[in-house]
């Protein structure tokens, strides 16, 4: 496992060591001790989630705040997505900045999104199966979000707007400027 730091503090890209031969491949997708040794972060993942979506499905930008904020380790099991993390930590030097990373089943790259970030992705392939580990349980009362099209964030989702498939709930999320002062991590 190798760790690549991104421009956003504590957001990291993980490249796993893959062992392959004519039978297929094997890799260790998560090892708590190795993660701690390589990142210095003692994360206790307690919930796994998985979704399957078709091309153009955009999920996000979501977060949980307060005592239920979540760190996530995400990866793609099938297909390809553009994954986005937005720093919502007011005291961070990268506050309101985002990073976009392409994740695919072929690359087997993983992306760690710490607490204090909004997160979302859009499917770039015909379908994609998305998997993520969370270090806190889901709590509906603590969920929040930022509209995917917030002009202040200026995220390039790599697909034309008329090709995006967005839930009714995600289409009415507020702009970051409308809610940032009420978020506590």
Active site residues: 62, 132
- What is the DSSP pairing of strand 24-26 with strand 19-21? antiparallel
Record the tokens describing residue 74, joined without a space: 């995400």
Question: Which residue is listed with tokens 């307060």?
Answer: 66
Bridge partner list, 51 = 130
The residue written with tokens 């005592």 in the block is: 67
Q: Cα(177)–Cα(147) distance, rounded to whole angstroms?
A: 11
Pairing of strands 19-21, 80-87: unpaired
Distance CA 63, CA 59 (A): 11
């Amino acid at each position: 496992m190798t760790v690549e730091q991104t421009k956003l503090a504590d957001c990291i890209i993980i490249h796993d060591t893959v062992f392959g031969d004519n039978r297929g491949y094997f890799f260790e997708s998560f090892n708590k001790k190795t993660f701690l040794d390589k990142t210095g972060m003692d994360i206790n993942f307690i919930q796994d989630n998985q979704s399957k979506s078709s091309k153009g499905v955009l999920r996000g930008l979501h977060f949980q705040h307060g005592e239920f904020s979540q760190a996530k380790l995400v990866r793609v099991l099938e297909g390809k997505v553009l994954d986005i993390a937005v720093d919502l930590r007011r005291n961070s030097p990268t506050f309101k900045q985002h990073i976009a990373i392409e994740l695919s089943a072929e690359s087997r790259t993983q992306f760690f999104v710490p607490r204090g970030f909004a997160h979302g992705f859009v499917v770039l392939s015909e379908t994609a199966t998305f998997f993520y580990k969370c270090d806190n349980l889901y709590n509906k009362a603590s969920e929040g979000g930022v509209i995917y099209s917030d002009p202040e964030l200026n995220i390039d989702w790599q697909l034309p707007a008329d090709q995006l498939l967005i839930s009714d709930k995600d289409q009415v999320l507020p702009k970051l400027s409308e809610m940032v002062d009420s978020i506590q991590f």
